[in-house]
Structures are given as C-alpha cells and as structure tokens.
A and B are shown apart, each in its own frame.
Chain A
Amino acid sequence: MKEITLTIDGKTCKGAQGDTIMEVARKNDVYIPALCYLEGLTPIGSCRMCVVEVEKNPKMLTACTTPALDGMVVHTQTEKLREYRRQMLELIFAGRNHFCMYCSQSGDCELQDLAIEHGMDSVRYPYLYAGFENDATHRDIQIDHNRCILCLRCIRVCAEKVGTHTLDLQKRGWNATVVSDLGRRLGESDTCTTCGACAQVCPTGTITLREFAYRGRRKDCDDVVENVCPLCPVGCRIKVYVRTGSIARVEGTAVTEPDGGQLCRKGRWTLPRSSERERISVPMIREGSHYREADWEEALGLVAEKFKKAHEADSDGVLVSSLCTDEELALFVSLFKDGLGMQRLDTFDGDILRGFVKGFEPFSRQGVRPFTAAHNILESDCLVNLSAEPDDEAPVIASYMRVGALRNGAALLNISCKPNPYGDLTDIDAVAPSPEQSAALVQGLVDLVAGFKVPGSQGESGRDAMARLSEKTGIPGETIEEILERLRAARKPIFLLGGCLSRNPAAVTSAVNLAIACGAFFDDGIGVVPLVSSGNSLGAINTVLAKEPWIGEKKLDFLYVYSSGMVPEDEASLSAISGTKFVVVQCPFWAQPLVNLADVLLPAPAWYERSGHYCTIEGERRRLNVVVPPKGEVRGLASILKDLSADLGVQPGRPEESPCENVYASEKPPTEAQMVLLEEVRK
C-alpha cells in the first residue's frame, strides 16, 4: 500500500493511501476530538467534533470521513475550530436534556469530558426541553433517550459487530431517536441478544447497564485487569474493573480487535454477578443432613483416608471442570495420574471432547490442524452450520456468523438436526429429523462433492447417489442440489461444528472431510470451527480427558469433583456423583445441586482469584489473571493438592503444562490434508 505524508499541526505524519485524516492522526498520536467516531466502526461524520482545517480548502472538513491525501496540511486546534466545536457542544446540550448531576455516567462521559475540555461554562442557545422516553423495559439495559446525542455508535456496533440489527433510528431531526426492531421498546425486542455492546460504546449516559450503574466510574476504579472469559472456548479477552476489592464492571476489549472486542451475554453478566454469589469459605464435613465447619487438616485427612481405601479397591475417580487453567489441569495430572496411577480422570464435558478428539485424530496424525480460529468466520464466503447452536454454545460465534452473512455477503447454510438458529439470514435450511440422518447427510455431501467413495456406498454417482441420500436423510433432493451448488461455488467455506454432532466421532471426521473436499483451507488449519464446550476444553484434551468414558459405568466408592461453579453440571454427571459412596466437592460457590451431593466440601478460588492459561479455539494461549486476591480460608489448588498428596503418602509427578501449540500442532500446511475413510474412525 502506498505511503502518504501529511502535515498535521506542524507534525509530519505518515499514513497509508485510503486512510482518513482521523486515522492518520491517531496513528501518529495527534489528538482530534470526536464523539461519533469509534475506531473499528464505519465513520459517519455526524457529530462534527472532528472538524479540521485543511490548507487551500475553504471548508472545514470532518477528519473521520475525509480521505487523507499526500501533502495535505491539516490544522486541528485553531481558535476557529475550537469555537465551532464549542458551538456544536452547546447545541447538543440545548437539544436534549443533559443534566450531569443526576446521571449515573457523570464523570464517565465523553460528552461531559469534551464540553469541559472546550471550556463550555454556559450554553448560549435556548433549551428545547423536549421530553423523551426513558426506556426501562429491558431487564439489564436502560435507554434514556433524553441523553442521546445521536452518534449512532450503538446502532453501528449492533449491526457491524453483533450482527443483530436490533437498534436503528426513527424519525428525523430533533425528534430522531434510537429504536429497537421496528418501533418496539428494547425489552420487547425479539432480536436483542442482551450482549450489552451498545452500552459499552455509548459515549454518554444514554444506554447504561443497571448492573454497573453507580458501582464506580471507569476512571475511579482502582485497577483494570486484562483477562480472559473462561465460559466458552472462544476465550474472549475482557477488561475487569476493580473498585475497593470487588468487581465493578466487565467489558470487552476495543472493537478494533480481530474478534471485534465483543462480549456475549454470558461474559457480560455471569462473570460480574458471580462475584456476589455465596461462597464456600471454609472446609465442611457432612454430618447427617447438614454440614459442619472443619479445618483444612481435618477435612483433607478425612478425604485422604476415604481416598486411600477406595484407591486400593480400584473404586475411585476424579471429575474436574474444563474451566480449569492449564496449570491446574497439570496439577491434577501430576497427582492423580502420575502419582496415584489413576485412570478414572475426566472432565464434565468429556463425552463431547472425546467425540472431537476421535473425529480429529486421523487428521492430527497427518500433522494438520483440523480446525481454524473462530474469527476466520469473518473471512469466509460460505458459512455452514453443522448442528451447532452458537447462541447457546458460544454467542460471540453467532455474531460472527450473522455479520459474515449480512455484511460480508457470505452464504449461510444450516445443515442440522436442530431448528435453524439464524432465522431469515439462512440461504438454505436442511434440518434432518435425527442426529444420525444429519451426520449421514454430511458424509453424503462429502461423497458428492469429492466423488469420494466410502465403504458401504454402492459406487453410484450423480442423480442416483443424490436420490439415495435424500431418501436416507429426509432432505429433499433439490435442497441437496442447492447445497452442493453453494459448496462448489465457495472459495473459502467454514464449517461450524457443534451440538448433537459433536459427540459422534464419525460425524466430526465427515465434517473435516467435507471441509477438505470443499477446499476450506486457512493459514492455521482446516476450515472447521469446533464448539468444544468450555474455556479450556482444548487444554483438557491432552491432560485429564479419559480415553474412554467411565462416568456412571460403575458405582464408585470415592469421587473427587472440582467444579468452577460457573456452568451447571450435566444430568449424567450429577447422577453418577449422587450414586457414589463418598464425594468430595471442591467449588468456589454454593452451586446447587452439586454441593448437596458432597460428603466433604472444600473451598476453591473463584475465576477472579486465580491465574493461569487457557487454550482457546482462537489458537491462542490466553492468560487468566488474578482480579482480587482470595479471602479467608480459600487456598490455591497447588497447596491443597500438596497437603493431600502428603496425607496420601504419594509423591506427585512434576506438573507440566502442555503449551497450546502442542494441542493439534500444525506441522504442515493444511492444504496437504487428506480425507480419511470413516472406517478408520469407527473401528
């Protein structure tokens, strides 16, 4: 790209051709005030705060929308500009009802900051005093239209990053207001995903989140900790604001990040709310129908005694959350696998992970990474949803899918055994009656796209094969034909794999086969995005994940359960836990119903009290940082396991974390991947 040189306020600034004046200025640390401009969103030049003077041009120009040209001489801080900007601010204040003294965002408001910066000590225009609605219909998000400056950041972030188009503009001029759907209040909207992105970008107190109102302004917070959201495999980067030792606010990073700096409803609300949940603060031992407090020595002594006996009888097991960090998982392995030689270790999402592991195995044996980073969905021209339900599994990925279809014009195909999660955005909807039929459809498509013969197929081609596939899967022949057409035309398709297909290794293999057949190759791997279930599922794969399922197969004498308390436990695990003679539950919170099943309860640090690493499906190892230090009797896992191993008389192995790159390492370019026979997986 051609480099251009501008002079801004006497400073020589370099930029690239196609940059706006604002972009060049920001790259060169030249400050131009702005309200509607937000890096990462389409600039609209509506607030006029960024007006600049360009020599040889009689007009004032908005820096955010004016392309920078080589040799431009720009002035951003002249007396004339300052006066105009102040005038704009006064008009904004006169037009709506901006009263700082009773606004929850006062002190955390870009409008207020700019007005003060421009010395606005009075407003020279008559106020309109037009009363606008304060829309408080939504449970979590409040919109006070009286404070709106119509910068449209919320509308743009909703359309461009979240892809729901919930917010839009109605009416004109002074009467224009932000509106949801087609004239509803936000609480009545059926498209809003409650992600809170609109409030995060709002420069004034218009859109606010009740949860964080009056919990501390951003600038009054004691600390902002960069962190990773542990709740789903995307591992969104987050900023956690801390004030007087508690979490005041959780936000996504800047919208300029490749992942859009998003945060879904899970991260936005579950994380901060968890800091107010009731904690297990001391070890407890069951006595009849209630628990009594105990000290660590007594509790761990009892655990060791029961554990030893059960271990000798080969009737013990360990079940841990895949929200554990790499470091914690390594500790479990060092004690239970290396030290005690136990085989019965697993995670709550073990069945899902084994489906992926077995299905991916033939490809990782080839030295190819069988999946790609989730944000590559935004690079794709054909998005295929394979039974995934991203709105539940990983809502940020649902945003990518919507944005891909709406803004990048990608085709969106739903091949699933569940109802279509994308509504009208879907180009082709092929919902099979059962997971088996859905899996058969995926493999059938592999045969048709690649002419690839799997054992069992009769070797027919073209129409016959299609008719057979249609009969087998219950999907009309025309639909299959349409799917094929789209897949053949696709340049870089991506296959989103989850839901009912993920437990089925053959279906996983078929999905990767289909990706290979369609030429879905990305720099980091094959164009499949697997919705493994939680924050560090990938990290669990080569640590605690069992080769074969054992939970519920036999009534055990002893079970050690480590839960993050952040996601509810599944039915199967709970029934296996309740069928066990002696259960130790280590959990930060009083997470029902799990804690009711325990014979010994041990406190654990919550997500905001721990540090370590997560292996995300973005392919990055992201760091979890301590936000507030643990209080009371809560101890770190390492020290507890050390005491426990001493009580057990076992020498644990040396804990070794497997770096993220080793999980499905990419040894050769994905383009060299070969399709595999399903038999290899089924045996």
Chain B
Amino acid sequence: MAKVKVATVWLEACAGCHMSFLDIDERLVDLVDLVDIVYSPIVDGKKIPKATVGVIEGALGNDEELHLAKEMRKQCDIIVAWGDCAVFGGINCMRNFTDRRQALKEAYVDSPSTVNPGGVIPHEDIPHLLPQAIPVDHEVKVDVYVPGCPPDADTILWVFQELLEGRVPTVPSEMMRYD
C-alpha cells in the first residue's frame, strides 16, 4: 500500500505543536511506516507538493503565512488546524488590540530588553504584517480542528490514525483542551 502523503507547516506559533507531535515517541516509527512526510519544518523541502493531509500549526499574522496557508489548501485534500493558534488565533492575537505600527514599535524599539538606538524597524525583504493575527479558518477552509496549547501527543496521533482509516475526525470532548 502506498504511503499517505502528509505536509505540515509552522506558521505564527511557537513550534510547540510540532514538539507535541514528536512526543508520540516510539510510535513515530510505526507512523512513518504508513505516512510519508513530504513537507515539514522537520524535513527538507522547498515547495509544498501534493499531499493528502496538510497540517497547519499557527495563526496567520503576515502575508507569507497567508500565502503558505493558501498553498497548503491548494495542495492538500484535508487541512488539519493544530493547536490554539491555528484554531483560535491564540497568543498572537495579543497584538490585535493595537495597530500594526504600534506593535512593531513595541517589539523592535520600546520593549525594555531591546537595544536599538537608531529605532530601526526592519521592513525590507521580510513579510508584511496583516492588520490582525487571525485563525487559519478565517482565510482557508479547515477540515479538522485540534485545539490545545499544545494538543496532547495522543490526540495528535489519534487524529492521524483516524485520517489513515479514511475518516475525517472531530476531536471528542475527552481529548479536547485549550491550554
């Protein structure tokens, strides 16, 4: 049987969801017998190839992330939103209470730990911030939501197992968490 192709992407988030994925420990070995991870922060790939399952960790906060989310939607049959950032926006939404310029100034100039005498805010050759950090499903359709900060490793594995069985799962209350 051909392996199921899986792409995962790390957008505006802390990578905690990918870490939690690695926490499935030795079961990872069994999983890679069944799936082929074709694109991910943990494999080398330049372009998102066609895949059956596309996993998105993180909210959408800049135009590159928005582009990647749209690419994922285009290339993958089933989109899974991993973690609170992808599902609800998460901690990235803290900047939504001020405008973009203020947020950048806070980050690059005003924060107490920053030394930036010139008050330079980087703006060339880097993605531009969206007006607000938003959950993935505000821009692209999401098929499976896995909230949690991060979701438990067992939940992540369970979602993969369900998808491998050909079902599109809904995370049950017993497995759901928001923190």
Contacts from A to B (Cβ < 8 Å): 93, 97, 99-103, 106-107, 112, 115-119, 121-123, 126-127, 129, 131
Contacts and interface: CB of A to CB of B under 8 A. Distances in A.
Interface stretch (B40-48, B103-111, B141-149): B141-149
Given A93-B88, A101-B84, A122 B178 contact: no
Given A106-B178, A106-B179, A129 B147 contact: no
Contacts of A122: 81, 87-88, 135, 137, 142, 145, 147
A97 B178 contact: no
Contacts of A99: 84, 88, 90-91, 93-94
Interface string B130-168: 001001011000100111010000000000000000000
Chain A CB count within 10 A is highest, among B94, B132, B137, B173, for: B173
A116 B179 contact: no
Contacts of A121: 87, 145-147, 170-171, 176
Given A99-B88, A116-B177, 19 more contacts: A97-B93, A100-B149, A100-B178, A101-B179, A102-B91, A106-B179, A112-B178, A116-B173, A117-B173, A118-B173, A119-B172, A121-B87, A121-B147, A121-B170, A122-B88, A122-B142, A122-B145, A122-B147, A129-B93
Interface in B65-113: 81, 84, 87-91, 93-94, 96-97
Given A101-B90, A121-B147, A129 B97 contact: yes
B167 to A, nearest CB: 15
A92 to B, nearest CB: 13
A118 B170 CA distance: 12
A97 B147 CA distance: 16
B162 to A, nearest CB: 14
Interface of B: 81, 84, 87-91, 93-94, 96-97, 132, 135, 137-138, 142, 145-147, 149, 170-173, 176-179
Contacts of B88: 93, 99, 122-123
A440 B135 CA distance: 74
Nearest to B133: A129
Contacts of A118: 173
Contacts of A93: 88
Contacts of A116: 173, 176-178
Nearest to A115: B178
B166 to A, nearest CB: 20
Given A119-B173, A119-B176, A129 B91 contact: no
Contacts of A107: 179
A117 B175 CA distance: 10
A112 B84 CA distance: 13
Contacts of B179: 100-101, 103, 106-107, 112
A100 B177 CA distance: 9
Tell which of B89, B145, B147, B178 has the most Cβ of chain A within 10 Å.
B178
A126 B135 CA distance: 10
Nearest to A130: B97
A464 to B, nearest CB: 73
B143 to A, nearest CB: 11
Contact of B138 (A101, A119, A126, A131): A126
Contacts of B132: 129
A126 B132 CA distance: 12
B141 to A, nearest CB: 11
A101 B147 CA distance: 11
B123 to A, nearest CB: 24
Contacts of B172: 119
Nearest to B96: A129
12 contacts: A93-B88, A100-B84, A100-B179, A101-B179, A112-B179, A119-B170, A121-B145, A122-B81, A122-B137, A127-B89, A129-B97, A131-B97
Instruction: Give the most central of A99, A103, A126: most B CB within 10 Å.
Output: A99
A106 B146 CA distance: 18
A103 B178 CA distance: 11
Contacts of B89: 127
Nearest to B14: A101
Nearest to B145: A121
Contacts of B93: 97, 99, 127, 129
Contacts of A131: 97
Nearest to B97: A131
Nearest to A146: B97
A441 B94 CA distance: 63
A94 to B, nearest CB: 10
Nearest to B147: A121
A582 B89 CA distance: 69
The 9 closest A-B pairs by CB, nearest first: A131-B97, A100-B178, A101-B149, A121-B145, A129-B96, A106-B179, A100-B179, A122-B145, A116-B176
A122 B88 CA distance: 7
Nearest to B144: A121
Contacts of A127: 89, 93, 96
Contacts of A100: 84, 149, 178-179
Contacts of A97: 93
Nearest to A117: B173
A97 B173 CA distance: 22
A101 B178 contact: yes
Nearest to B132: A129
Nearest to A100: B178
A601 B178 CA distance: 52
Nearest to B178: A100
A102 B93 CA distance: 12
A99 B81 CA distance: 17
Nearest to B85: A101
A93 B146 CA distance: 17
A1 to B, nearest CB: 39
B132 to A, nearest CB: 6
B133 to A, nearest CB: 9
Nearest to B142: A122
A145 to B, nearest CB: 13
Nearest to A112: B178
A102 B88 CA distance: 14
Most buried by B among A102, A126, A129, A131: A129
Q: Which of B88, B90, B146 counts the most A-chain CB atoms under 10 A from its CB? A: B88
A19 to B, nearest CB: 30
B89 to A, nearest CB: 7
Nearest to B146: A121
A116 B155 CA distance: 14
Contacts of B97: 129, 131
A392 to B, nearest CB: 41
Contacts of B149: 100-101
Contacts of A112: 178-179
Nearest to A131: B97
B16 to A, nearest CB: 10
A115 B87 CA distance: 14
A101 B137 contact: no
B72 to A, nearest CB: 17
A131 B177 CA distance: 25
B108 to A, nearest CB: 21
Nearest to B172: A119
Nearest to B149: A101
A482 B172 CA distance: 67
A485 to B, nearest CB: 59
Max chain B CB contacts within 10 Å: which of A106, A117, A123?
Answer: A123
A378 B173 CA distance: 43
